[in-house]
Structure 1
Amino acid sequence: MSTAGPPTVTARRVRVATLVAVLGPGLLAGLSDDDPAGITTYSVLGASYGYQLLWVLLLSTVALVVFHSLGARMGVVTGQGLIGLIRQRYGVRASALALVVLVLANVGTTCAEFAGIAAGFGLFHVPPAVSVPISAVVVSTLVLRGRFHRVEHLLMGLATVFVAYVAAGFLAHPDWGQAATGLVLPTMPLRHGAVLIVTATVGTTLAPWGLSFIQSYAVDKKLTTDDLGYERVDVITGAVLTGVIGFFVVVASAATLHAQGVTIESASDAAGALEPLAGPLASTLFALGLVGAALLAAAILPLSTAYSICEFAGAEAALDDDFEHASLFYVSYLATAAVGAGVVLAPGLPLIRILVLSQVLNAVLLLPLLGFMFGIARDRDLMGQYAATRSMSAVYAVTLGLVALCIGALLALGLP
């Protein structure tokens, strides 16, 4: 009897330690979805439609759990990233198409991240000519010069800034009853603006780059099939936190901006407008969240791009490799960051329109990538005993259908 206790405690400690060691891919891929483009989309959603479209965020979060779980499982089981698997399963042409789709989506979203950096630091009176290039250099140096685990800890530490959005949501004193109704009662205004913001919400939550990143990062982290149970916890935690943060951004905007009839075009507009409605603390927290989200995503988006390019080329792609052994990885990362920062610094560009439309582009480009993942998930030659069951295949097919429905409705009403 006396010996039963210690092994139980020891086993529990081992499980907790293993979980902590595995955490990373799901949390980072999920929380990075709440980037400036995402916060802008959620802010416009709440300011324009109040609590009415919260159900879209809930469904998008469920889809995020489903496909991030699939991406992580594919990476762990096969030891390959998404582009590498597409090349093996469908051939060079199909993988080249997937790579072009992914790079287009990633570069557009990277521009949106640096636009968010410019907007966020602008709220603290720092000009873009200072904030954007310095941020590009800092995040690139920290990611490319650090060891894998140090970089991971740094990024996860940066992700704690999202607590600011939860605090801002409470300070806005939302109507929790209306928020609950909006989450579970689907209603949809059949107007172009509503369909546009719904499509952008799907594109920003279930982003193409996130699907690629979580798979490649799980490979880089050297997870094994023994870790799959813990990785599932990681994925669900990251996706749920993503949805929770998006929820608080929407309710903060709905309770203040929508209630007062205030129209906004960006997350920085929302931060500025919150001050007279919810107080300076809510406004400051919202602005800090925007800056932190921008820096986190600006570090991860080029990483997703670099992984994918190297997978297609069959080149080394690991954070622990030096430049001599992974030159394409380093060059791809730096080029993506440089293009994103350079576009934002170009005079006269409509940055806010870039932010929202980049998320619509994400939704459109999401379809072929989800289709490739659907086929790979059912391939027993690649996935073995971890291939998708009939029930999970049905879930994947329904998700694909809903994304296609959003895009079809947008095309029927006319592109923006």
Structure 2
Amino acid sequence: MRHDPRPPIGHRHRGIGLRLAALRAAGAGAWAAFLAVLGPGLLAGLSDDDPAGITTYSILGTEYGYRLLWIIPASTVLLIQFHLIAVRLGAVSGKGFVALVRSRWGRGWGYAAVLGLLFANFGTICAEYAGIAAAGAMVGVPAWLSAPIAGTLIAIMVVVGSFHRIERVLLLVSSTLVLYIVDGVLAAPDWRAVASGAVTPRLPLEPAGWVALAAALGTTLAPWGLAFIQSYAVDKKITVATLRWARVDVVIGSVLTGVVGLAIAVACAATLYPVRAHVETAADAAMALRPLAGSFATTLFGAALLGASLLAAAIVPISTAYSIAEATGEPASLGLDSRHFHWFYAAFVGLTVAAVSVVALPRLPLIPLIYSSQVVNAVLLPLQLLALNLLDADVAVVGDARPARWVRMLSWMSLGLVLACLAGMVWAWR
């Protein structure tokens, strides 16, 4: 007999509806209602500032100064828009992204979606553990030790912990990203130039600049993040009744994501760009700051890198495990009973072990794997945005929650902008 992919309310975590009812009975107000749905937007947004994202923002500031900062606010607007669509789809359908694709267009499309996400996400998971290893190397801890320890602790937390305990730990870890904002302020940038660069679109004149724009867009609006927020909203029991507060959570999480990304780029633009420093990874940026901004700035950058890596090393495998379980029709939830076998937990542990093995064994081709996964992300992103737009406009899926025509038009225009950015990159490299 096939299991219900949505575990019953009260099984390891209570539904949002029950929690809100309890809050109302206790006389709690809007603030308590917001806290009850807090999580999906913050975690999906801030986990986008992972080692790959930090590296992208670091290179953006180091190579181009303040000139291309505008792509970060622009990407943040798109992040808000499509995360809102994903949360709405999860709330009205009760299905994650892959599950919804499978039920609407058939198993074949569901398998195709999960295969694309699986290949792209695995390289990203390796990048997260590479970030953990890089942060450990800054204090003398080798990769063969730091990556397995982190992977073991994360796996134990996800498999054994309850839904709300996992969420609290992840939210606590995500708070370390505020250190990047401190770093950006300590860099003492030219704030007038920052403001101008952030609001004035300037197109790059060289092919590498187009690549930087596409990379910044892709790392902010990541396919795994879109899949995660929809599945996580379903797992958290977000409903149409609680969607209003979930939207606030999405906006706050997306804006914080943009602020952190901007702070990283500004810190590098103010310190590394004037001396034409060479940066290939986030760890390179942290070490390059030492002679220019002091050891304290390097410590902050490294500590935030570790926090961002740990957060994403949990979120990306969770997102992938959601998608794998949804594609096969199996239960997909952090609230499953870990005393019994579930494909969701098996997928999570398997991905974690594989990624840790890749990072801990230096002779394996880590860089080509990560690079190829980002290429898949670039191809997968517009396809996923297309699917989200089609589902969001489908009355059979969203019913009365179908957005207004002007909202749908904006979504299609945003997809056009993403395609134009990718086309500009391809044209520049022709």
**TM-score interval, smaller chain:** over 0.9
CA offset at residue 356 of structure 1?
6.0
Deviations 1:140-198 (A, max 9, x none): 11111100000000000011101110111111101111111111111122322111111
**Matched residue SS, 1:93:** helix
In structure 1, C-alpha distance between the alignment counterparts of 2:135 and 2:395, rounded to whole Å: 47
In structure 2, C-alpha distance between the alignment counterparts of 1:336 and 1:34, rounded to whole Å: 20
Task: Please tell me whether residue 293 in structure 1 is matched to residue 293 in structure 2.
Answer: no
> Which of the residues 386, 390, 409 maps onto 2:424?
409
Distance 1:328-1:10 versus aligned 2 partners, 3 A rule: closer
2:135 corresponds to: 120
1:183 corresponds to: 198
In structure 1, C-alpha distance between the alignment counterparts of 2:68 and 2:427, rounded to whole Å: 20
CA offset at residue 348 of structure 1?
3.7
Task: Please tell me whether residue 330 in structure 1 is matched to residue 330 in structure 2.
Answer: no
> Which of the residues 381, 392, 403 maps onto 2:407?
392
1:45 corresponds to: 60
Distance 1:405-1:350 versus aligned 2 partners, 3 A rule: farther
> Which of the residues 151, 157, 165 maps onto 1:142?
157
Task: Please tell me whether residue 243 in structure 1 is matched to residue 258 in structure 2.
Answer: yes
In structure 1, C-alpha distance between the alignment counterparts of 2:249 and 2:362, rounded to whole Å: 41
Distance 1:286-1:356 versus aligned 2 partners, 3 A rule: farther
Task: Please tell me whether residue 281 in structure 1 is matched to residue 279 in structure 2.
Answer: no
1:164 corresponds to: 179
Partner letter of residue 116 of structure 1? G
> Which of the residues 153, 168, 172 maps onto 1:153?
168
In structure 2, C-alpha distance between the alignment counterparts of 1:337 and 1:411, rounded to whole Å: 33
Deviations 1:96-142 (A, max 9, x none): 21111111121111111111111111111111010011111111111
Q: Aligned pair count?
A: 407
1:79 corresponds to: 94
Q: Percent identity?
A: 47
1:3 corresponds to: none
Contact 1:31 1:242 (C-alpha < 8 Å) held by counterparts: yes
**Matched residue SS, 1:258:** coil
Partner letter of residue 263 of structure 1? H
Contact 1:36 1:267 (C-alpha < 8 Å) held by counterparts: yes
Distance 1:70-1:12 versus aligned 2 partners, 3 A rule: farther
CA offset at residue 323 of structure 1?
3.7
Contact 2:128 2:313 (C-alpha < 8 Å) held by counterparts: yes
In structure 2, C-alpha distance between the alignment counterparts of 1:389 and 1:326, rounded to whole Å: 43
Contact 1:196 1:360 (C-alpha < 8 Å) held by counterparts: no
Contact 2:87 2:233 (C-alpha < 8 Å) held by counterparts: yes
In structure 2, C-alpha distance between the alignment counterparts of 1:103 and 1:355, rounded to whole Å: 13
In structure 2, C-alpha distance between the alignment counterparts of 1:177 and 1:356, rounded to whole Å: 35
Query: Which stretch shifts more, 60-69 or 322-331?
Result: 322-331
**Matched residue SS, 1:316:** coil
Task: Please tell me whether residue 339 in structure 1 is matched to residue 358 in structure 2.
Answer: no
1:108 corresponds to: 123
Partner letter of residue 224 of structure 1? T
Query: Which stretch shifts more, 262-271 or 242-251?
Result: 262-271
> Which of the residues 212, 219, 226 maps onto 2:234?
219
2:18 corresponds to: none
CA offset at residue 354 of structure 1?
5.4
Contact 2:68 2:202 (C-alpha < 8 Å) held by counterparts: yes
> Which of the residues 31, 37, 42 maps onto 1:22?
37
Task: Please tell me whether residue 381 in structure 1 is matched to residue 388 in structure 2.
Answer: no
RMSD: 1.8
2:387 corresponds to: 372
Matches within 5 A, 1:299-310: 299-310=314-325
2:5 corresponds to: none
2:79 corresponds to: 64
**Matched residue SS, 1:388:** coil
2:280 corresponds to: 265
In structure 1, C-alpha distance between the alignment counterparts of 2:27 and 2:296, rounded to whole Å: 41
Give unmatched runs, 5+ long, in structure 2: 1-23
Contact 1:115 1:355 (C-alpha < 8 Å) held by counterparts: no
Contact 1:109 1:358 (C-alpha < 8 Å) held by counterparts: yes
In structure 2, C-alpha distance between the alignment counterparts of 1:220 and 1:282, rounded to whole Å: 38
Contact 2:76 2:220 (C-alpha < 8 Å) held by counterparts: yes
**Matched residue SS, 1:51:** coil
Distance 1:10-1:329 versus aligned 2 partners, 3 A rule: closer
CA offset at residue 368 of structure 1?
1.0
Task: Please tell me whether residue 315 in structure 1 is matched to residue 330 in structure 2.
Answer: yes
Contact 2:144 2:361 (C-alpha < 8 Å) held by counterparts: no
Distance 1:350-1:268 versus aligned 2 partners, 3 A rule: farther
In structure 2, C-alpha distance between the alignment counterparts of 1:202 and 1:111, rounded to whole Å: 20
CA offset at residue 203 of structure 1?
1.0
Partner letter of residue 403 of structure 1? V
Q: TM-score, normalised by structure 1?
A: 0.94
Contact 2:190 2:270 (C-alpha < 8 Å) held by counterparts: yes
Deviations 1:9-47 (A, max 9, x none): 999942111101110000000000001110011001100
CA offset at residue 346 of structure 1?
3.1
CA offset at residue 406 of structure 1?
2.2
CA offset at residue 94 of structure 1?
1.6
In structure 2, C-alpha distance between the alignment counterparts of 1:407 and 1:191, rounded to whole Å: 14
Contact 1:26 1:231 (C-alpha < 8 Å) held by counterparts: yes
Contact 1:203 1:361 (C-alpha < 8 Å) held by counterparts: no
